[in-house]
A = this chain, B = another copy of it.
Amino acid sequence: MVGVSDRKKIRVGMVGYKFMGKAHSHAYKDVGMFFDMDADYVMRAICGRNEQGVREAAARFGWESWETDWRRLVARDDIDMVDINAPSDAHKEIALAAIANGKHVLCEKPLALNLADAREMLEAAEKAGVKHGVCFNYRFLPAVQLAKKIIDEGKIGDIYHYRATYLQDWLVDPGAPLAWRLRKEIAGSGAHGDINAHCIDLARFLIGEFDRVVGHNRTFIKERPLLAQSEGLTGRASATEKGEVTVDDATGFLADFKNGAMGVFIATRFATGRKNANTFEIHGSRGSIRWDLERLNELEVYFRDDEPELAGFRRILATESVHKYAGNWWPTGHIIGYEHGFVHIVYEFAQHIAADAPFAPTFYDGVKCQQVLEAVDLSIERGAWVRVDEL
């Protein structure tokens, strides 16, 4: 860590102040308390369309100022970096404007509503030479980092199988309203873009690129109560009017990876009783790995080299000081929660800005994720396998 007085400042402007806005704000606020940083964040401004909402968020989350127009925000010269967690349909325009103004950009996933937009954003960011990142936050959990390390060290050998699920159940209730996440024009896609996106990124992070895919999807409940007018894009359902759900409730697909591994991915909001089961299980020639977001501190690992009578899946509690990031928190066995992934990602983003080193995941990873998502959708249209590189 460089001395405080010498430390670079990264002045952040953030667009969005709901679920993700809260998670990101918390990360900027807490990161310096737990991590030795080579650059300090300054929470300069938060931006949202609803003046009262964003003003309250600024006060509560600890931002110095607020804006209601993102165009003003990205133009401010007291800002070095723009954090985008507005609804997905706004990502591209904001990012391009921020990049044009020379700001570093950290953007929530999905990077864009479609592959072409994502590629445009990547190209712009690369040309401008700014740091760019996509918030694939689950990469940054200690247990997932451990999985990556085990695989990279060859400890589970060549990969044969990759299975992932992301299971939620918040749409099983037919009375759940038609929120923005259920409208294609705003969200781009449903379970597929929202949660399969995480699984796809984790798979790329852990074992590499996709070759081809084939999938299917469903919208189990095709109409839902409209939101009461006054509630905007979130809030209570209307008692009387209904509207069409235009995104998928669930998407599943098979994949072949370029390394020869077989994959399967299931994302759904209709897995009754399963709340947030972002899981993977990976089988290799020398061992296997399992993980579940609902028990995010744990990694289960099997090594074929263990003595035959003593081999078994080990439940590793990734809270030891030897586990990446874990030593910055609490003593052994004191588990951390969901939001810590965001603390770790903003920590890494700052460190890579300070060192002017290549950060990952970048917009490139956003593009590659989008490419797989769209290849799956195309395979559904065609009823046949689609090579990802076709797109």
Task: Say whether A42 faces chain B, with CB atoms less than 8 Å apart.
Answer: no
Instruction: Indicate how many identical chains form the complex.
Output: 4
**In contact, B33 and A214 (Cβ under 8 angstroms):** no
For residue A271, CB closer than 8 A to chain B, the reply is yes
A383 at interface (Cβ–Cβ under 8 A)?
yes
Q: Which residues of B contact A331 (CB under 8 A)?
A: 19, 170, 276
**Considering residues A156, A304, A312, A338, which has the most beta carbons from chain B within 10 angstroms of its beta carbon?**
A312
Other than the given A33-B60, A170-B332, 20 more pairs (CB < 8 A) read A26-B30, A29-B29, A33-B61, A161-B266, A161-B268, A163-B165, A216-B254, A264-B266, A273-B288, A273-B302, A275-B333, A276-B332, A293-B335, A294-B317, A306-B314, A309-B316, A309-B322, A309-B323, A334-B338, A335-B335
- Residues 285 to 335 of chain A near chain B (Cβ within 8 Å): 285-288, 293-297, 299-302, 304, 306, 308-317, 319-320, 322-323, 329-335
Complex contacts, A313 vs chain B, CB 8 Å: 273, 314-315
- Contact present for B286 and A272 (CB under 8 Å): yes
User: Does A23 lie at the interface of the complex (its beta carbon under 8 Å from any beta carbon of B)?
Assistant: yes
Which residue in B160, B253, B319 is a CB contact (below 8 Å) of A275?
A: B319
Q: Is A2 close to B, CB under 8 A?
A: no
Q: Is A317 within 8 A of B309, CB to CB?
A: no
Q: Any chain B CB within 8 A of the CB of A250?
A: yes
Assess whether A347 is interfacial by the CB under 8 Å rule: no
Question: Number of contact residues on A: which range applies?
Answer: 35 or more
Q: Is the CB of B29 within 8 A of A30?
A: yes
Given contacts A4-B59, A334-B338, contact A270 B283 (CB under 8 A): yes
Query: Could you tell me if B275 and A317 are in contact, using CB atoms closer than 8 angstroms?
Result: yes
Interface centre among A286, A299, A335, A336 (most CB of B within 10 A): A335
Complex: A339 Cα to B331 Cα, angstroms = 11
Given contacts A309-B146, A309-B322, contact A283 B275 (CB under 8 A): no
